[in-house]
Amino acid sequence: MKSLTLSSPLDMHLHLRAGSLCETASAVAGTQFAGAVVMPNLVPAIETLPAMDAYAQKITAAAGTAFRPLMTLFLNTQSASDIEEAKANPHFFAMKLYPAGVTTNSENGISNFDAIVPALEAMQALDVPLLIHGESNGFVLEREAEFLPVYRQLAKAFPRLKIVMEHISDARTLALLDEFENLYATVTLHHLLFTLDDLAGGKLNPHLFCKPIVKLPRDREAIRAAVFGGNAKIMFGSDSAPHPRSNKESAAALGGCFTGPVLLPALADLFDRHGALDKLQAFVSDNARRIYHLDVPQKNLTLVNEPSDVPAAFDLPSGEQVIPLFAGTRLPWRIV
Ligand code: NCD
Ligand code: ZN
C-alpha cells in the first residue's frame, strides 16, 4: 500500500463564505490544511481590518487553532497608510484585486487602475502580495486573453511587487511565469482534472462550473506539465467555492466548485496516476512557504492508497445542502 505524509499543507486560494456555510467550509479546511489564504468576496466585501479580524475569529472558531487563516482584503479605495496598518495586523496576508464584475460578488471591484497606484506602491515597499483574479468580464475563450496585458503592465510597473495570477486555467497565461520574475500563480484541483467536455460535453454539470471556466485539453496539459514538472512558481490554491445546491442546480447557476472535502485525497490520486507524487509536497506547501517566507502551524497529514467515500451532500442548519466534488463516489486515496 502506498502512503504519503504531507507536512503543513496549504491552500493558497479558498472561499470560506459567511454564516453557516462558513462553519462547514472552515471545518472541512481545518481537517486537511495547516492554513489557507481566505478570499474576501463576501457581501459586503472584507475591506477593513475590523471586518477582517472578526472574520478570522469566526474561521478559527470553526477550523480550530491548528489552522491559520491567511486573511486578504478586497482592494478598493485603501490608501498607502491603510496598507501600512494592514501589514502590522497578524492575520493579514495580502490584497486581492477583482477587476469589476469578473466573478461572484465582484461588482464593486476595480475599473480604474490609476486609483489603486498609491496602494500598489505601498504594497511593493512593504512586501504585501497582490493577488489578482485575472480574467476579463465574461469567459468567452478569446476574451480571457484580454487580461494578459494587465498582468504585463503591472509586472513591469511594479517589479518588486509579488503578483499572483490566481487560478490560472490556460496555456497563454501560464507562459507569463517565464516572462516576469515577479509573477506567480495558483492552480486548482479542478483545472488539473477537467476540461470543457467534463462541464458541458455531455450532460451539463453545474457543479463543475467555475470562474475561470475549465478550458481545452491543451490548456489542461500545459498546466499539468508545469505542475507535475515541479514549477517552483506555482502554488496550490483550490478555489473551493461552495454555493447552496439551489444556486448551483439552477437555470442561472453560480460559478464555484465545492472541492474542499476531497482536496488532498483527489490530489494524491491525480499526482500518483501521473507519477508525480514526489512533487505534491512542493505544490501544496513548500513553494508557498518559500515564496512568502511563511510561518505556518506544523501539521502532518498522512494519506494512503485505500478507498474513501465522498458524502453525497453536506447539510446546512438552514435546511439547504452543498454538493461536493465527486459527491457520492469512492476515491482511491484517503486521509489516515
Ligand atoms: C468564486 C466564488 O463563488 O466566490 N467563484 C468561482 O467560480 N470560482 C469566485 C472566485 O473565485 O473568484
Ligand atoms: Zn476564487
Which ligand ends up closest to the CA of 17?
A: 1
**DSSP-derived 3-state class of residue 257:** strand
Q: What percent of the chain has pLDDT over 70?
A: 93
C-beta 103 within 6 A of ligand 1: yes
Rounded to whole angstroms, the Cα distance separating 211 from 147 reads: 14
> Can you tell me the mean pLDDT for 260-267?
98
Write out pLDDT tens, residues 171-208: 989 999 999 999 999 999 999 999 999 999 999 999 99
Write out pLDDT tens, residues 313-326: 999 988 999 999 99
Any idea which residue has 439552477 for its cell?
250
Write out pLDDT tens, residues 216-226: 999 999 999 99
Write out pLDDT tens, residues 92-108: 999 999 877 666 666 66
Domain 10-297 sits in CATH at 3.20.20.140
Closest CA to 235 of 182, 167, 303: 167
Which ligand ends up closest to the CA of 186?
A: 2
For ligand 1, atom 1: residue with the closest CA: 256
CA 245–ligand 1 middle distance (angstroms): 15
For ligand 1, atom 9: residue with the closest CA: 104
Active site residue 178: no
Structural domain boundaries in the chain = 10-297
pLDDT, residue 84, reads 98
Write out pLDDT tens, residues 10-63: 999 999 999 999 999 999 999 999 999 999 999 999 999 999 999 999 999 999
Environment of ion ligand 2 (residues, CB < 5 A)? 239
Residues 6+ apart with CB under 8 A from 16: 22, 25, 26, 29, 36, 38, 39, 59, 69
pLDDT, residue 149, reads 82
For ligand 1, atom 6: residue with the closest CA: 256
Write out pLDDT tens, residues 123-133: 999 999 999 98
pLDDT surpassing 60 at residue 77: yes
C-beta 241 within 6 A of ligand 1: yes
CA 240–ligand 1 middle distance (angstroms): 8
For a ligand 1 pocket test, name from 11, 12, 15 the mutation site with the most ligand atoms within 8 angstroms of its C-beta.
15
Average pLDDT of the chain, as a whole number: 94
CA 189–ligand 2 middle distance (angstroms): 12
Angstrom distances, CA of residue 330 to CA of 189, 198, 309, 310, 315: 17, 18, 4, 6, 19
pLDDT, residue 140, reads 52
pLDDT, residue 142, reads 63
C-beta 255 within 6 A of ligand 1: yes
Rounded to whole angstroms, the Cα distance separating 315 from 21 reads: 10
C-beta 211 within 6 A of ligand 1: yes
Write out pLDDT tens, residues 116-175: 999 999 999 999 999 998 765 555 566 666 678 888 999 999 999 999 999 999 998 999
pLDDT, residue 148, reads 84
CA 209–ligand 1 middle distance (angstroms): 10
- The helix or strand, by DSSP H or E, that contains position 152, with its residue range, turns out to be helix 148-157
pLDDT, residue 141, reads 61
CA 256–ligand 2 middle distance (angstroms): 8
